[in-house]
Amino acid sequence: MIRLLLLLACLLGTTLPAQAASNDLLGAFGIEQAPRFLKVDEAFRLESRQEGKQLLLTLQIADDYYLYRHRFSFKGEGMTFAEPELPAGLPHEDDFFGKSEIYTQSVTIPLTLLTAGEGGRVHLSYQGCTEGLCYPPTDKIITIEPIAADAPAGAPDTTTRAASEQEQLAATLGSQGLWLSVAAFFALGLGLAFTPCVFPMYPILTGIIAGAGARLSTGRAFALSMAYVQGMAVTYTLLGLVVASAGLQFQAALQAPAVLITLSVLFVLLALSMFGLYTLQLPSALQTRLAGLSNRQQGGSLAGVTLMGMISGLVCSPCTTAPLSGALLYVAQSGDLLLGGAALYALSLGMGLPLLLLGTSGGRLLPKAGAWMDRVKQLFGFALLAVPLLLLSRLWSDQVTTLAWIGWVLLLCGYLYHHNQHAPHSPWRSVRGFVLLLAMMGAVVTAHDTWRGTSLAVAAPEAPQFIRIKRGDDLAARLAEARGKPVLLDLYADWCVACKEFEHKTFSDPAVRQRFKNMVLLQADVTANDDDDVTLLNDLKVLGLPTLILFDREGKEVPGSRITGFMEPAPFARRLDQVLGEQP
């Protein structure tokens, strides 16, 4: 009997599959065992191939295994790349991620390289699952071969068209050394010092210098100006890093009505201190406290002046330019806060250099005492009153803003006319009085026309008709409807000054309007900064406003065509031509 059982076992062993034969005797007789899961590198085999500036990443996926589409992430080290476009996946729903898309069998992701030096690497992260098991996120590093900065002779120049200005600046940060990048961004900041973003800081600093009065020497003026510029640079740098790392909602929060109104009240109080009007409106105890605070901030305390510089950094924070966007893009893409922060700080110092020169020279040029000095301080008070108008114009309509500026001009002209009437009789006094009266009459006529809307109705061309969208699915639906026509998406907010510049200067240009006729125009107003706005901005990877995104006739974003910051009509029209295919 025993011999018969042994013979039967041998016969079964020769007919069982190889996998069962390798298990124990219980498994051979069909008793259920725990499933065997593949190792993560066996379940998902990564292959990479680089062809010039194109890097192909392929993942071979084992049967019954899958990868989540939304769990892919890419970061560059010593190199930069265009935003990758992931292929569409299969719909999937589970208890882990809910509704999502997955890849099975295999997936290939193309990566367009912008710059790559020696030792450049791509950090790839992905996550996959199978029935009964989910792997933790897997990180892989792919070494990149260096690519030439210039295209070969005779080859078409596709790099310039494939990378926008901010992408090229981000690439510059990734490929150059620390000090070359810092020097380049300092020079760019110097150019930005003469843009409307920085203009509100000039009356603030001149008010601080004037507030020091007779105590001010050239050395003291330099120290106050340096403290002011450092405060502005620190705020600008920190805000930039926060926006790049955590999202645009922080920038939008700083432009909330409560913040803008609070800053405006602060500058009004500082202006009133220049006029010496605190005694007319406030109790003596509170007047003494405010006057002391104003004097400390204007001339007596380096810490107070630094604080004013930090507050002034909030004034220019909504201004988004190509250099700023380039630094933010590099930080967001590489995670290198050190180099990105150094670039932002150098950009801020470049913007502050003319302020430093103005403040230092102001200490030498301003008189030391006398009635003339009081008049100069009052003129600086009017300059400080202009800052709240610049801030609140982000909340007001164009008509209200125009009327407010006209009121400011009338007050200034009335003040100058009053002092002119007390000047000694001379021909120049009569000429000044006549010019000031003409200016006030012109301001009154302009205010009348603005109030009634007649001048705007005659002069302003018909505004382009934008279709409003709110969420990502609205955008997807409009792109599907517009197949066959290019699409322009304008991301707008009421607090964004440059957004309004686009509307008044660029969108109204006849050449731009002619090109708009062949496009579908979409606009997302993110002023409310609610959950839908934040989700849309994050999905589109928007780092600042204004941002304009161009989509081709197939509904895909055109690589390198994204516009961040204000752009004049002529270059904007050329950018549209690239999408419309009217010129190379």
HEC per residue, 62-107 = CCCEEEEHHHCEEEEEEEEECCCCCCCCEEEEECCCEEEEEECCEE
Task: Give me the pLDDT at residue 122, please.
Answer: 92
* CB proximity list for 419: less than 8 A, separation 6 or greater: 375
40-143 folds as Immunoglobulin-like (2.60.40)
Task: Give me the pLDDT at residue 329, please.
Answer: 53
Task: Give me the pLDDT at residue 257, please.
Answer: 73
pLDDT in tens, 273-327: 767 675 434 445 544 554 455 444 444 467 777 887 777 666 555 554 555 555 5
- Reading the block at residue 483, the tokens are 């197949």
Mean pLDDT over 130-145 rounds to 84
Determine the residue type at 446.
Answer: T
Residue 457, pLDDT above cutoff 50: no
Cα(247)–Cα(254) distance, integer angstroms: 13
For 30, counting Cβ atoms within 10 Å of its Cβ (0-12 exposed, 13-18 middle, 19+ buried), the class is: exposed
- The band of 96, judged by pLDDT with boundaries at 50, 70 and 90, is low
Residue 494, pLDDT above cutoff 60: yes
Cα(451)–Cα(449) distance, integer angstroms: 5
User: pLDDT exceeding 70 applies to what percent of the chain?
Assistant: 64
- The band of 158, judged by pLDDT with boundaries at 50, 70 and 90, is very low
- The band of 13, judged by pLDDT with boundaries at 50, 70 and 90, is very low
Q: How far, CA to CA in Å, does 221 sit from each of 225, 274, 352? A: 6, 18, 15
- The band of 486, judged by pLDDT with boundaries at 50, 70 and 90, is very high
Q: How far, CA to CA in Å, does 48 sit from each of 74, 334, 375? A: 14, 20, 72
Architecture of the CATH domain 467-580: 3-Layer(aba) Sandwich (3.40)
pLDDT in tens, 539-576: 888 867 788 999 998 888 988 788 877 788 999 998 89
Top pLDDT among 377 and 82 is at 82
Element housing 403 (H / E): helix 398-421
pLDDT in tens, 226-257: 888 888 888 777 766 665 555 455 555 556 67
Residue 130, pLDDT above cutoff 90: no
Task: Give me the pLDDT at residue 102, please.
Answer: 93
Task: Give me the pLDDT at residue 281, please.
Answer: 41
Task: Give me the pLDDT at residue 537, please.
Answer: 85
Residue 129, pLDDT above cutoff 60: yes
Cα(143)–Cα(116) distance, integer angstroms: 10
Top pLDDT among 183 and 104 is at 104
Mean pLDDT over 94-98 rounds to 69
Task: Give me the pLDDT at residue 306, please.
Answer: 81
Residue 467, pLDDT above cutoff 90: yes
Cα(252)–Cα(375) distance, integer angstroms: 38
Task: Give me the pLDDT at residue 167, please.
Answer: 58
User: pLDDT exceeding 90 applies to what percent of the chain?
Assistant: 16
In this structure, of 118-132, 340-354, 485-499, the range with the lowest mean pLDDT score is 340-354
In this structure, of 9-13, 226-230, 417-421, 490-494, the range with the lowest mean pLDDT score is 9-13
Q: Count each helix (H run) and each strand (E run) in the chain, helices first.
A: 25, 15
- Reading the block at residue 391, the tokens are 């801030």
Average pLDDT, the chain: 74
Cα(367)–Cα(370) distance, integer angstroms: 8
Mean pLDDT over 4-18 rounds to 44
Cα(330)–Cα(325) distance, integer angstroms: 8
pLDDT in tens, 372-388: 556 766 776 787 788 78
Residue 171, pLDDT above cutoff 80: no
Top pLDDT among 65 and 7 is at 65
Task: Give me the pLDDT at residue 364, please.
Answer: 52
In this structure, of 255-269, 415-429, 534-548, the range with the lowest mean pLDDT score is 255-269
Mean pLDDT over 195-213 rounds to 63
* CB proximity list for 106: less than 8 A, separation 6 or greater: 58, 59, 60, 61
Element housing 499 (H / E): helix 497-501
Domain ranges of the chain: 40-143, 165-281+296-385, 396-452, 467-580
Task: Give me the pLDDT at residue 524, please.
Answer: 94
Contact 324, 565 (CB under 8 A): yes
Task: Give me the pLDDT at residue 5, please.
Answer: 47
